[in-house]
Amino acid sequence: MGGSSSGSWSRLGNVRALEEKAKLALQPKKKNVFISFSSEDMNEVNLLRGQAKNENSDIEFNDHSVKSAYNSEVAEYIKRKITERINRTSTTVVYLTENTSKSQWVKWEVEKSHALGKNVIAVHKGDNFKGNIPSWLNASKIVSWSNLSNALD
């Protein structure tokens, strides 16, 4: 006589869960990067963040906007939190403008990224950056925003 078929129905649910898991695993992964920028460039960086939220973008930003003074009472706390965020990424992207060299926070984030063994890529708007590149930047690449995704490969 035959066996019970009730066991196969309960296993079917597991198959569906496995199918969903496999679909997620096969989707292209987003590149999780830390973005460092001068607070004066917030409006432009918000545009870049918006572009990265597009479902066709393969970049996901992990950043923390700092409005406190570099030498403020909360600076050590902020540095610990930023370090945690940099640790979760493989690359630090520095948004390069004329304001970059004036930002102590950007300088600290770049130095911390290097100390943690992270890749640092500078990105700028337009085809060519015409400003001064800070001596402490030491980026592995300097690319336009439109080429960032390729530079992260």
Is pLDDT larger for residue 90 or for residue 29? Answer: 90
Q: Which two tokens stand for residue 132?
A: 């001064």
Residue 115 pLDDT > 60: yes
Residues 88-103, mean pLDDT to the nearest whole number: 92
Q: Which two tokens stand for residue 71?
A: 């030498």
Q: Which domains does the chain have, with CATH numbers?
A: 29-151 (3.40.50.450)
Residues recorded for the chain: 153
Residue 65 pLDDT > 70: no
Q: Which residues contact 140 (CB under 8 A, 6 or more apart)?
A: 119, 120, 121
- pLDDT at residue number 57: 57
Q: Which residues of 41-80 are buried (b: 16+ CB within 10 A; e: fewer)?
A: beebbeebeeebeeeeeebebebeebeeeeeeeebeebbe
Residues 70-84, mean pLDDT to the nearest whole number: 79
Average pLDDT value for the chain: 78
At residue 67 the predicted structure's pLDDT band, cuts being 50, 70 and 90, is: low
Is pLDDT larger for residue 147 or for residue 13? Answer: 147
Integer Cα distance of 125 and 123 in angstroms: 7
